[in-house]
Amino acid sequence: MSNRPFNEYEVGEALRSGVPEPAQGYWADIDARLQAAGGRENDGSADGERLDGRRRIESRREPVNMDPVNIYMGDMDMGDMDMGDEVPQIDVAPGSVDSGQEPLRYWPMAAAAALALVVGVVAVGMVREPRSSTPVAADRESVTVGVADQTGAANDTESTPGRAPVANETAMIQFGDDSSRPLISPQLLGTFDCAGNGGTGFWWPAPVMIGMSSDLGGGFPLELVVPADPGISPFPGVADDGSLQLPDGSVTSDEVTCNGDAIQLQIHEWSDLDSFVRGEPPVVYFDNLVQVVNDSSLRGTGPSSGPVLVAAMLPLDAELPLSLEARAQIGDQSVSSTVIRTMPIDDMVLEPQQSQVFIEGPVVLRADSFANEIDSDG
Amino acid sequence: MVRESTGLQERAREGDAAAFGELIRMWDRDLRGVAWSVVRTQTDTDDVMQRAYEKAFVSLTSFNGTSSLKTWLHSICYRTALDHVRYENRRRHDGVETLEVVPAVASTDGAAMANLELDELLERLPDEQRVLLMLTAGLGYSFDETAEITGLARGTVASRISRARANLDRWSSDVE
């Protein structure tokens, strides 16, 4: 029976004991992958499984990976073709006078090898295309971060109440072990309050300050800056209890309605700016919103930006009033108004007692964004 | 054992696949625990681990030693598991208009809960809480190390673990 509090040991033991044993062939697959990755001889496995370097490695189930370290010829499925055997055949031109071979005897093989080579080069090129041509330093001496609005003033909190939200671009670049893979943070476009503006709806602009973890080699969750003192801070935020604090300091409550329907705090999330601009339906979250926001960078998979978020006070199932025109405007603004800049870590403002850095400075994202080039002035 | 591990680590960092293979065999049980806490099936755990090991091996040259190699490997396994879940979720939900997420706890019917053992209660935890419990209670990592592995702020780690423990306590007391 489980009707008692559990101590730390019991919890730990239960968790450890639940870990399943690997399937047959697990280590053989790993050995094959390591050998393919390292191009080295591996003398076998400790568990007695025989290493088979010719074992076919299953193609990845993930979408195209932007991490260059994951691009291997070993992963490319060339069917039954063995390039290691065939490429040397074309070192001496088949059928040439010096080759001593009969003219055109090997042309099908050579053509196939050449075709495979072209396909390989094109495939690798396609995979590499969206990556940065100026890799960010992996030695922790610099990291690209930043946030800004379209005016370039990172801490400009002037709002234009009632208008559609301004696109705030935020960007973070992973460094450390996975430096070449941009991790793009979410952008919170704004906060919509359906009860505002006399009941016609009201847009608050997004906060322009973000926090990020600075001392890690991995990814960084974005954390909204939640005002500590309602009524003073200009930033909207999601409080720990899940309520939404609007920029004027008011805190949402269950009594608020729109057109007689009770409203509910929601986070609408698009996978990236492109899907937002195209008007694709968002995923809507109603619960654990702080966590939803904090973890959104982990869900982003879009090539053009990180996830796009909108906080909204709306009745259940009500549509967020964002016209396609507004979406296009937001998309254009984000592309035309941002720049990427690297910043030495020493220049960052460190918050004592926290593993977070709050960046207040001009900004970051280049027009065609992470996928292409990153300018560095640092 | 430590000296042996250090030697293996040095060889692994020089690109010795055999040495790296020995290291991960030593640590696989712990490392699998992290992936298992996130993906929750044996097949997916195996898949995640294979990709994580491959990724780690080719990234070893960028490992700068500011943390232990094992901690670094845990971080890679954790992120690979998250990538896996993210990809699977995206694949499943592609084209779906709206979804609600995070069903923290369903209603706790006393009779239904009566027979739940601890592992069943752990199964009910949100993934992000379970994996943090695995890292701390299961594998003995500190909050700081867990924060480093997961990329979460230390305060976030602490609060999520606190919620996890509160959930377990509450669910177990509901049985009474």
What tens digit of pLDDT does each residue of B35-91 get?
A: 999 998 999 999 999 989 988 888 887 777 777 888 889 988 998 888 888 777 766
Strands A237-238 and A223-224: unpaired
Going along chain A, which residue ranges are E strands? 142-148, 169-173, 182-183, 187-193, 202-205, 210-213, 223-224, 237-238, 244-245, 257-258, 261-270, 283-285, 308-315, 342-344, 349-350, 356-358
DSSP A270: E
Name beta bridge partners: A343. A143
Distance from the Cα of A66 to chain B's closest Cα (Å) equals 13
Chain A residues in contact with B45 (beta carbon < 8 A): 19-20, 22
Chain B residues in contact with A215 (beta carbon < 8 A): 148
A31 by Cβ neighbours in 10 Å (0-12 / 13-18 / 19+) ranks as buried
* Residue ranges of domains in chain B: 1-92, 112-176
The first and second tokens of residue A276, run together, are 């937002």
The values of phi and psi at residue A105, to 5°, are -65, -40
> Count of CB atoms within 10 A of residue A322's CB?
21
Nearest to A6 among B33, B49, B172 (CB): B172
> Count of CB atoms within 10 A of residue B7's CB?
12
Euclidean distance between CA atoms B52 and B47, whole angstroms: 9
Distance from the Cα of A283 to chain B's closest Cα (Å) equals 5
Q: Is residue A211 a contact partner of residue A95, using CB atoms and an 8 Å limit? A: no
Question: What pLDDT does residue B25 have?
Answer: 93
Euclidean distance between CA atoms B168 and B174, whole angstroms: 10
The region that residue A202 occupies, defined by phi over 0 for left and psi between -120 and 50 for alpha, beta otherwise, is: beta
Q: Rounded mean pLDDT of B6-22?
A: 85
Task: Of A151, A171, A170, A173, give the one whose Cα is nearest residue A160.
Answer: A151
Distance from the Cα of B1 to chain A's closest Cα (Å) equals 16
B88 by Cβ neighbours in 10 Å (0-12 / 13-18 / 19+) ranks as middle
pLDDT band at B21 (very low <50, low <70, confident <90, very high): very high
Contact A354 B153 (CB under 8 A): yes
Nearest to B79 among A37, A219, A281 (CB): A219
* Residues, chain B: 176
The first and second tokens of residue A292, run together, are 């939803």
Mutation site, B25, B58, B83, B85, interface A, largest A CB count within 10 A: B58
Question: What pLDDT does residue A370 have?
Answer: 26
Euclidean distance between CA atoms A148 and A278, whole angstroms: 23
Euclidean distance between CA atoms A155 and A207, whole angstroms: 9
Euclidean distance between CA atoms A71 and B125, whole angstroms: 36
Task: Of B45, B44, B55, B65, give the one whose Cα is nearest residue B20.
Answer: B55
Q: Is residue B23 a contact partner of residue B9, using CB atoms and an 8 Å limit? A: yes
Contact B21 A292 (CB under 8 A): no
Question: What pLDDT does residue A63 have?
Answer: 31
The first and second tokens of residue A28, run together, are 């053989």
Q: Is residue A136 a contact partner of residue A180, using CB atoms and an 8 Å limit? A: yes
Euclidean distance between CA atoms B68 and B145, whole angstroms: 10
Contact A34 B55 (CB under 8 A): no
Mind listing the pLDDT tens digit for each residue in B132-159? Answer: 999 988 888 888 888 888 888 777 788 7
pLDDT by residue for chain A (378 residues), tens digit each?
444 677 778 888 888 888 999 999 999 999 988 888 776 444 444 343 333 322 223 322 333 332 322 222 223 333 333 333 333 333 333 333 333 344 444 545 555 555 544 444 333 333 333 222 222 222 222 222 222 233 332 222 223 333 333 333 333 322 223 333 333 445 666 667 777 666 777 665 543 333 332 232 333 333 333 333 323 333 344 454 545 555 455 555 545 677 777 777 777 888 876 777 677 788 888 776 656 666 666 666 555 556 777 777 788 778 887 766 556 555 443 332 222 222 222 333 322 222 222 333 322 222 222 222 223 333
Nearest to B57 among A10, A34, A295 (CB): A34
CATH of B112-176, one of 3.50.50.60, 3.40.50.11540, 3.40.1160.10, 1.10.10.10: 1.10.10.10
Euclidean distance between CA atoms B38 and B163, whole angstroms: 17
CA distances to A157, A202, A237 from A293, in Å: 21, 21, 10
Task: Of A367, A2, A308, give the one whose Cα is nearest residue A166.
Answer: A308
DSSP A96: S
Question: What pLDDT does residue A176 have?
Answer: 29
Q: What is the dihedral of CA A75, A79, A82, A86, to 10 degrees?
A: -120
Nearest to A1 among B20, B46, B114 (CB): B114
Mutation site, A41, A55, A69, interface B, largest B CB count within 10 A: A69
The first and second tokens of residue A373, run together, are 């080039």
Contact B50 A5 (CB under 8 A): no
Nearest to B152 among A16, A139, A221 (CB): A221
Output the furthest CA–CA distance in chain A (Å, rounded): 91
Nearest CA in chain A to B103: A287
Distance from the Cα of B112 to chain A's closest Cα (Å) equals 12
Contact B29 A218 (CB under 8 A): no
Task: Of A312, A248, A11, A103, give the one whose Cα is nearest residue B164.
Answer: A11
The values of phi and psi at residue B133, to 5°, are -65, -40
Contact A6 B138 (CB under 8 A): no
Chain B residues in contact with A221 (beta carbon < 8 A): 151-153, 156
Q: Which CATH architecture has domain B1-92?
A: Orthogonal Bundle (1.10)
DSSP B77: H
Quote the pTM value. Answer: 0.41
